Amino acid sequence: MTYTVGHYLGERLAQIGLKDHFAVAGDYNLVLLDQLLEIDGLRQVYCCNELNCGFSAEGYARANGAAAAVVTFSVGALSALNAIGGAYAENLPVILISGAPNSNDHGSGHVLHHTIGTPDYGYQLEIARRLTCAAVSITSAGDAPVLIDHAIRTALREKKPAYIEIACNISSQPCPRPGPVGAILTDAPSDPETLKLAIDELADFIAARKKPVMLVGSRLRAAGCEDAAIRLADALGCVVTTMAAAKSFFPEDHPAYAGTYWGDVSSPGAQQIFDWADGVLCLTPVFNDYSTVGWTAWPRGDNVALMDTRHIAAGGKAFDGVHLRDVIEGLIGRLKGQPKKDATLVEYRRIKSLDAPVVAADPKAPLVRAEMARQIQGLLTSDTSVIAETGDSWFNVMQMKLPRGARVELEMQWGHIGWSVPATFGYAVGAPERRIIAMIGDGSFQLTAQEVAQMVRLKLPVIIFLVNNRGYTIEVEIHDGPYNNIKNWDYAGLMSVFNAEDGHGKGFRATTGAEMEKAIAAAVANREGPTLIECVIDRDDCTSDLISWGRRVATANARPPAAR
């Protein structure tokens, strides 16, 4: 058998730990798909459309560290690029692979199908360059190994998406086999001198403060520093809070954990302790308008030290070219044997109110949000992953208490509604051993609903809580109008459509607590496919946090233009 460019690409994907890749077929990628099918241990998983294909890969990367999506030129790739923008925003190395025009057509003046109708096909590569950390076009087999390696290596190093387009007549061309995977996993080590200076500065920052707190941000997983952050917290002894987008990136049963810091929609006590602190150690934060609650809760100034993936800033100085894990290890070494900086933890324990137990609602009463959230909380185990969609699902999940090991997946930087359906599919493909629960608003679900059919196809026992509040409630709270009302669907009924003649998905509609409980029991028992539970609640029944946060964000949006 001739070893080909497509084999090379597939083998590299398998080498970096991918057991699956996501695909939608099209004539520019069919031969490539044939080549990829021949790679041992690399399954081809199909999606209903390319937007979903991109988001499925994004979800898989969350479970598995990296992912790949294969699409056809323009009509496919331009849809997938939206999800690639999301992967960039969310720091996930998703490799987007697009079939492309025959190498003989490039520069020939030919107009081809699936293009914008001009003989220049370079626009897709140009767009991809803006949305990825590396974008390459392969029009000769000789260049393929170096270009493929460059794209994958850069994506893995930067934890950002990369783009590879392959001319449709090149993927079956002969190509040497790839060497050891180490060649694409290499990374420059921290500069030792800069590392020492950065650690000195951080150690001074901490020494000069009596009441520090630690804030964990959403790039911690991409930085590979979740365990290191726990050890740093142990060495410091102070309160640790997570940012909303970093929910589950620090164990919630850790004695120093004080919940989510999110301005005035923080967990009880978290904001008070934050405001009382005299220093904030920020690990890999993302400060945007949402995370700062419309810029009302933005830690900055002299009392803030930033510890980012490859960048440290403290005491008015900044350091680059160091790895966060090296910085954390060095800092832990300096803190060894020193008295704990536990003032914020002592104070937090004094002001923290005991969690009032949530009382079950009357099982026959109309279902309300609080009862729905209570029942979902009851499902969480240490092997659960909750995928929460943009909308009130964010705020519902934020209030949940996670057992150690439970994960929450959010897409707070990109915030594409509908992301969660394909991302849940991709996550379930990547982590079949976990209990996977999705919380999705009705409005969001309508964007990408068809990907539930792929969960049916692969018999994935995902549990979907579809919150039917008859509209875009999160937008109602930010700025209401007729555009926030949506057409109702028979969401539970969709499952029989997706099952067709061979599926085992189940759909239930819950209008009371008792109906929801029964549906959950059936969902847990269904190991042959997804279960969708449509939770019917009132249009205005949302968390109070959504209302407070929505008002702040609306105020930030409504700032008048500055005078020039």
Ligand X SMILES: Cc1ncc(C[n+]2csc(CCOP(=O)(O)OP(=O)(O)O)c2C)c(N)n1
- The residues pairing with 172 across neighbouring beta strands, listed in sequence order, are none
441 binds Mg ion (CB under 5 A): yes
Q: What does 88 bind: ligand X, Mg ion, none (CB cut-off 5 to 8 Å by kind)?
A: none
Contact (Cβ atoms closer than 8 angstroms) between residue 419 and residue 58: yes
Q: What does 390 bind: ligand X, Mg ion, none (CB cut-off 5 to 8 Å by kind)?
A: ligand X
Q: How far apart are the first and last CA of the chain?
A: 68
Q: What does 475 bind: Mg ion, ligand X, none (CB cut-off 5 to 8 Å by kind)?
A: ligand X
Structure tokens at 235: 């060495």
Interface stretch with Mg ion, choices 9-17, 208-216, 441-449, 518-526 (CB under 5 A) = 441-449
Nearer to Mg ion, 442 or 515 (CB): 442
**Minimal CB distance residue for Mg ion:** 441
- DSSP 3-state assignment of 346? helix
Which secondary structure element, helix H or strand E, spans residue 86, and what is its range? Answer: helix 77-89
Q: How far is the CB of 416 from ligand X (least distance, A)?
A: 5
Q: How far is the CB of 448 from Mg ion (least distance, A)?
A: 15
471 is in an annotated binding site: yes
Q: What does 451 bind: ligand X, Mg ion, none (CB cut-off 5 to 8 Å by kind)?
A: none
**Minimal CB distance residue for ligand X:** 441
Nearer to Mg ion, 190 or 473 (CB): 473
Nearer to ligand X, 44 or 79 (CB): 79
Q: How far is the CB of 441 from ligand X (least distance, A)?
A: 2
Structure tokens at 98: 């697009």
Touching Mg ion, residues 446-475 (CB under 5 A): 469, 473
Contact (Cβ atoms closer than 8 angstroms) between residue 32 and residue 6: yes
Nearer to Mg ion, 63 or 546 (CB): 546
How are strands ordered across the β-sheet holding 162-167? 43-46, 20-23, 67-71, 94-100, 162-167, 134-138
User: What DSSP line would sit under 227-245, residue for residue?
Assistant: HHHHHHHHHH-SEEEE-GG
Q: How far is the CB of 441 from Mg ion (least distance, A)?
A: 4
Q: What does 204 bind: Mg ion, ligand X, none (CB cut-off 5 to 8 Å by kind)?
A: none
Distance, CA of 215 to CA of 199 (rounded, Å): 18
- The one-character DSSP state at 115 is S
Q: What does 392 bind: Mg ion, ligand X, none (CB cut-off 5 to 8 Å by kind)?
A: ligand X
- The one-character DSSP state at 321 is S
- DSSP 3-state assignment of 260? strand
Q: What does 426 bind: Mg ion, ligand X, none (CB cut-off 5 to 8 Å by kind)?
A: none
Q: What does 474 bind: ligand X, Mg ion, none (CB cut-off 5 to 8 Å by kind)?
A: ligand X
Nearer to Mg ion, 181 or 368 (CB): 368
Number of H helices, E strands in the chain: 21, 19
Q: How far is the CB of 421 from ligand X (least distance, A)?
A: 11
CB neighbours of 378 closer than 8 A, spacing ≥ 6? none
Q: What does 385 bind: ligand X, Mg ion, none (CB cut-off 5 to 8 Å by kind)?
A: none
Residues that bind ligand X (CB under 6 A): 389-393, 415-417, 441-444, 467, 469, 471-475
Q: How far is the CB of 305 from Mg ion (least distance, A)?
A: 40
Interface stretch with Mg ion, choices 74-82, 304-312, 341-349, 439-447 (CB under 5 A) = 439-447
Distance, CA of 346 to CA of 344 (rounded, Å): 5
Q: How far is the CB of 88 from ligand X (least distance, A)?
A: 16
Among 59, 76, 443, 530, binds Mg ion (CB under 5 A): 443
Nearer to ligand X, 475 or 517 (CB): 475
Distance, CA of 494 to CA of 440 (rounded, Å): 15
330 is in an annotated binding site: no
Nearer to ligand X, 165 or 409 (CB): 409
CA 38 to chain centre: 30
Residue 278 φ/ψ, nearest 5 degrees: -110, 10
| Buried residues in 419-453 as b, exposed as e (16+ CB within 10 A) | bbbbbbbbbbbbbeebbbbbbbbbbbbbbbbbbbb
Nearer to Mg ion, 251 or 550 (CB): 550
Nearer to ligand X, 213 or 376 (CB): 376
CA 236 to chain centre: 29
Helix 30-37, helix 5-15: angle, nearest 10: 50
Please name which of 79, 95, 72 lies closest in space to residue 12, comparing C-alpha atoms: 95
Q: How far is the CB of 339 from ligand X (least distance, A)?
A: 47
Q: How far is the CB of 401 from ligand X (least distance, A)?
A: 21
Interface stretch with Mg ion, choices 248-256, 344-352, 374-382, 440-448 (CB under 5 A) = 440-448
Distance, CA of 514 to CA of 520 (rounded, Å): 10
355 is in an annotated binding site: no
Nearer to Mg ion, 165 or 442 (CB): 442
Please name which of 459, 473, 482, 476 lies closest in space to residue 535, comparing C-alpha atoms: 473
Nearer to ligand X, 44 or 548 (CB): 548
Please name which of 450, 497, 494 lies closest in space to residue 55, comparing C-alpha atoms: 450
Alpha helices in 442-527 (DSSP H): 442-448, 452-457, 473-478, 494-499, 513-525
Give the CA distances from residue 483 to residues 54, 419, 449, 463, 517, in Å, rounded to whole numbers and listed in that order: 27, 20, 20, 29, 33
Q: How far is the CB of 79 from ligand X (least distance, A)?
A: 12
Q: How far is the CB of 390 from ligand X (least distance, A)?
A: 5
Residues that bind Mg ion (CB under 5 A): 441-443, 469, 473
Q: List the binding residues for Mg(2+).
A: 442, 469, 471
Q: List the binding residues.
A: 442, 469, 471
